[in-house]
A and B are shown apart, each in its own frame.
Chain A
Amino acid sequence: MDAVTAAPSKISLRGVTHSYTLRRPHEGKHTFQALGGVDLDVKPGEFLAVVGPSGCGKSTLLDILAGLSIPTSGEVLIDGKKVTGPALDRGIVLQGYALFPWRTTRENIEFGLEVKHVPKHLRREISDRFIRMVGLEGFEKRLPHELSGGMKQRVALARALAFDPEILLMDEPFAAVDAQTRETLQDELLRIWEETRKTVIFVTHSIEEAVFLADRVAILAANPGRVREVVDIDLKRPRDAAHLRTSEAFAALRHRVWTSLQQGNRPE
């Protein structure tokens, strides 16, 4: 057995399906299948991006990973143990920031630590570290509405990292910020990921973002959602935005993912 196959998966999805039952007044019951059998393995410390057409169940998949939805069939294993609900071994970052508007930057970051009953002086120490990590020194006492979109997302990221989860689940986290801020945040996310070595699952609708960030890109197909293909992104790290984004290797991979997505979009 060689080293690669021997390495245990951090996260394993085994035939995960998810169906909703819709009841409409005149049409009776409808069963809508959002996910139709997803198999996926993620290695410890890996950065996996998930792309797919709208309605392919990307967000459902993330909800299931977070333990917020229960799969209709199949199972999710983390370190070989079945996921039965949410826990602090996973941190989530959502598109809409989801900051608590009545809490300052620091208080938002310390939220998960309060839930874990971390004593106050320790909370302070930890939040200081993450405030520095995301570059928000001097903004500790700001309320979310006093921050720009990019800064809010930094707070959300710091909040998810602060309680030290092993896995980071990110659902289109940079979709609501402008293009420039987005690139800055991507660079910073890579830097932080290299510092912290979390296992990351990053859902996005941007092919460029997926290729730039990830070790592998999982391409989903819709109706029902399933994994069409997983593309290895063998670009060397640390990734240098200025050179990488204009390189031929980057363009080729981007095209490869795009082609695969196009096939998925074709009606079958």
Chain B
Amino acid sequence: MSRAPSLEAPAQRATTAPRLRAAALRCSGILGFAVLWELASRLRWIDPTFAPALSTVVVTIGRLIASGALLTHICISAGRALAGLALGLLIAVPAGLVLARWTPRARLVLDPFLRVLSQVNPFSLMPVFLLFFGSGELVKITTVGWVAIWPILFYTLTAITTVDPILLKTGRSMALSERELVLRVILPASVPTLFVGLRIAAGLVFFMLIAAEMLGTNGGLGWLVHNSAMNYQIPGIYAGSLLVTLLGFGLHRGLIALERHLSPRAGAALPTVPGARRPAAVAGPPPRPSASAVPTPSRWSAVAEQEST
């Protein structure tokens, strides 16, 4: 009677065939679009001068790779995007923690101001940014960092103020110091919500980065697109855009993988509502057999596995 029921029994692994089929189904939208793109250009539904076929774009990418220039552009853009995100994280997470945890009154006062400030478009202030940060690397990273700060800050505030009180109570009952409480309870509990902000920030960072790179003249994918446009190299524009898209997608996936690593729990994207309040399962069978069907429980991970090639 005292032994807990075994959970080992249910099917260990979903069979491969249905999973492959599901993956194919998920990719079919992208593949369909690629085929349509190719056909539309080849069959001259649209003017190939303005919209070269996908194969032409791929050939252009191949040429750029061969010349060695592309890798440099990619590294420059990815570097700036990551630097911007890092800047956002380094400012927003500590600021959010301090505001939400230690200075609730300041938060109350500052909140409307911060909401207004977050709406400031760095491009409208670009001349000011240029004055302050020069026209080099710094201005690009600060521009990008500026947009990254806000979603991370607001989601950090939400994350820290919505940590399940029962977890805080448990921590406090074990005589944790404030520092330990923050490190061992509050921050880990905030990871899922914080990552929602981080993913939004990553999206914004890419939008901003490409625009910022068009203003400068020293490399990066945005510069590649801009430069191609200036020289009427239309396939170059598409090649650059395609790569920007892929890079953004890669970053998004990377963040999901990181989140899965830091906070391995199901429904990671859903903030509050801890599983604790779920109606209890009946004594016998395991609560959710699906938990053992997918070894890594994140909802996102299932998607990631299916899509990875």
Q: Which of A92, A136, A148, A163 contacts B170 (CB 8 A)?
A: A92
B63 at the interface (CB under 8 A from A): no
Q: Mark A106-138, 1 if CB is under 8 A from B, else 0.
A: 000001101100000000000000000001101
| Interface stretch (choices B13-21, B213-221, B262-270, B301-309) | B262-270
Kindly state the separation between the CA atoms of A32 and B280 in the bound complex, as whole angstroms. Answer: 34
A111 and B174 form a contact (CB under 8 A): yes
B188 at the interface (CB under 8 A from A): yes
- Cβ–Cβ < 8 Å partners of A198 in chain B: none
B4 at the interface (CB under 8 A from A): yes
B188 and A92 form a contact (CB under 8 A): no
| Interface stretch (choices A3-11, A19-27, A83-91) | A83-91
Q: Which of B4, B174, B176, B275 contacts A135 (CB 8 A)?
A: B4
Task: Tell me the B residues contacting A by CB distance below 8 Å.
Answer: 1-8, 164, 166-167, 169-170, 172-176, 180, 184-185, 188-189, 191, 262-266, 274-278, 280-283, 286-288, 291-292, 297
- Cβ–Cβ < 8 Å partners of A142 in chain B: 7
B276 and A96 form a contact (CB under 8 A): yes
Whether A102 contacts B280 in the complex (CB less than 8 A), given A94-B169, A188-B2, comes out as no
- Cβ–Cβ < 8 Å partners of B185 in chain A: 100
Q: Name which residue of chain B comes closest to A63, CB basis.
A: B169
B280 and A181 form a contact (CB under 8 A): yes
- Number of residues on chain A facing chain B (CB within 8 A): 48
Q: How far is the CB of B268 from chain A (nearest CB, A)?
A: 10
B275 and A178 form a contact (CB under 8 A): no
A150 at the interface (CB under 8 A from B): yes
Task: Tell me the A residues contacting B by CB distance below 8 Å.
Answer: 66-68, 85-88, 90-92, 94, 96-102, 111-112, 114-115, 135-136, 138-139, 142-152, 154, 163, 176-178, 180-181, 184, 187-188, 191
A112 and B174 form a contact (CB under 8 A): yes
A187 and B265 form a contact (CB under 8 A): no
- Cβ–Cβ < 8 Å partners of B266 in chain A: 145
- Cβ–Cβ < 8 Å partners of A112 in chain B: 174
A187 and B2 form a contact (CB under 8 A): yes
- Cβ–Cβ < 8 Å partners of B275 in chain A: 101, 144-145
Q: Which of A66, A90, A102, A163 contacts B188 (CB 8 A)?
A: A102
- Cβ–Cβ < 8 Å partners of A139 in chain B: 4, 7
B174 and A148 form a contact (CB under 8 A): no
Kindly state the separation between the CA atoms of A180 and B172 in the bound complex, as whole angstroms. Answer: 32
A94 and B2 form a contact (CB under 8 A): no
B291 and A152 form a contact (CB under 8 A): no
Q: Name which residue of chain B comes closest to A176, CB basis.
A: B280
Q: How far is the CB of A239 from chain B (nearest CB, A)?
A: 15
- Cβ–Cβ < 8 Å partners of A191 in chain B: 2
A92 and B173 form a contact (CB under 8 A): yes
Q: Which of A67, A145, A181 contacts B291 (CB 8 A)?
A: A145
Kindly state the separation between the CA atoms of A92 and B6 in the bound complex, as whole angstroms. Answer: 28
Q: Name which residue of chain A comes closest to B180, CB basis.
A: A115
- Cβ–Cβ < 8 Å partners of B173 in chain A: 66-68, 86, 90-92
- Cβ–Cβ < 8 Å partners of A97 in chain B: 276
Whether A154 contacts B4 in the complex (CB less than 8 A), given A102-B265, A149-B280, comes out as yes
Whether A102 contacts B4 in the complex (CB less than 8 A), given A115-B174, A149-B280, A150-B283, comes out as no
Name the residue in B174, B191, B287 with the highest tally of chain A Cβ atoms < 10 Å from its Cβ.
B174
CB pairs A–B below 8 angstroms (6 shown): A101-B275, A135-B2, A143-B265, A146-B7, A150-B4, A177-B280
Further contacts, 6 of them, CB under 8 A, given A94-B166, A101-B189, A176-B280: A98-B276, A102-B189, A102-B191, A139-B4, A146-B292, A184-B283
